[in-house]
Amino acid sequence: MTTKIILAFTCAALLIQPALARDAMPPQSAVEHFTLDNGLEVVVIPDHRAPVVTHMVWYKVGSADEPAGKSGIAHFFEHLMFKGTARHPAGELDSAVAELGGNLNAFTTADVTAYFETVPPDALAAMMDFEADRMRGLGLTDDVIGAERDVVLEERRQRVDSSPQALLSEEFTATLYQNHPYGIPVIGWMNEMEQLNRIDAVAFYDRYYAPNNAVLVVAGDVDADTVRTLAEASYGKVERGPDLPPRVRPAEPEHNTSATVTLSDPRVGIPSFMRSWIVPSYRTAAPGEAEALDLLSEILGGGGRSRLYQAVVVKSGIAAQAGAGYDGGAYDPSSFSIYGAPQGNHTLDDVETAVDAQLAALTADGVTAEELDSAKARYLRNLIFARDAQQNMAQMYGSELATGGTVEDIEQWPERIRAVTAEQIQAVARKYLNPAIAVTSHLLPPATGAQ
């Protein structure tokens, strides 16, 4: 399943792959998708099992869209969105949701920024009023900017600078992406974050925060007619913003060498490694390739039934953990990774050798029909549980639409997974997972080599 571990710096849970098992989805006719006159896309996902509604606003902007030298402005602006407007002072939204017994949060990734509230259905109109108001009505004074900049600087110190895993991840990602802005941390580089100011914030706000650059998703105990009426009465009054050009970011050059990034730190007790490659995302892949990469990650290292876990953890006991992951939900080409950590007296070299051997065997010999059928069933069956949480449903649809996909892409995804062949999985492994161009990270205790 797709994750955003490398690319996302979230203030909430990590995003979930925007793909659903056929049986996990509401009936196709139940999901409504329409656009207001000012360009705001709206998705309604009815779920009447409980009197709860999740209201999410997705902006089609993330850290990879930031101007050069302004890293961190997207995440910084996520914080500023809670500072209040003339109609709703700072803290009023938080208090309103708390009084209802609901919850709210926000997150920023390389590709999107999203805001959400989970509340009773009769509070939906109020949530729309809050979000529509701050879409264009923020009060961005120098005092607000300075105080909140200090907050995000401290957030970086606590969540990145104090964590060897996070520090290595930043250096690793900056090495993996030689030219694309995915190599810049979502929270930003400290020296650039310190310089962010009111002029930067206002320019970012005016450029990206507008209804025609946003997607509204409402999931829960609602119907499409009610949502349309409420959305037109609130969001519909917000003026359309300037039309933005296509999201064309700097492209990666051809990778011709391997690289290794190593960090030794006294806070590290057990060494670990990760090895990654640039691969296409669902949006950029040739037909069938992204689905094959998804299933490759599941078969190779997607859980307790995977090759890596069974061979390297269970049977040989070499590793305490081993796995693989594919970030197919990114807007631009993203990454495929394998990873592991040793167990007992085994060394990190032992783990790397064992993991590499499993990848080499799969690349050379392919996967069996039984493995493929089992992975498809497991993959789709696991996603059925996504329906139990309406926030997951809202995230799936919102993430897909905010990164260039469609409702139809989500509905057709299960059949595309079912259509993947063993030959396609072997082909993408051979095409993309070349050890000669991999980037590897080693996280080590002090005075310890990658042994």
Q: Which residues are catalytic?
A: 78
Residue whose pair of structure tokens reads 């997972």 in the numeric block: 433
Please state, in angstroms and rounded to a whole number, the distance separating the CA atoms of residues 377 and 382.
8
Residue whose pair of structure tokens reads 């009773």 in the numeric block: 120
Residue 413 has φ and ψ, to the nearest 5°, of: -60, -45
Please state, in angstroms and rounded to a whole number, the distance separating the CA atoms of residues 170 and 438.
16
Distance (Å) of CA 301 to CA 69, 325, 326, 428:
37, 7, 10, 15
Please state, in angstroms and rounded to a whole number, the distance separating the CA atoms of residues 371 and 377.
10
Distance (Å) of CA 198 to CA 59, 191, 204:
20, 17, 10
Residue spans of beta strands (DSSP E) within 66-179: 103-108, 113-119
Please state, in angstroms and rounded to a whole number, the distance separating the CA atoms of residues 152 and 134.
20
Strands lying side by side in the sheet with 53-59? 32-35, 41-46, 214-220, 53-59, 113-119, 103-108
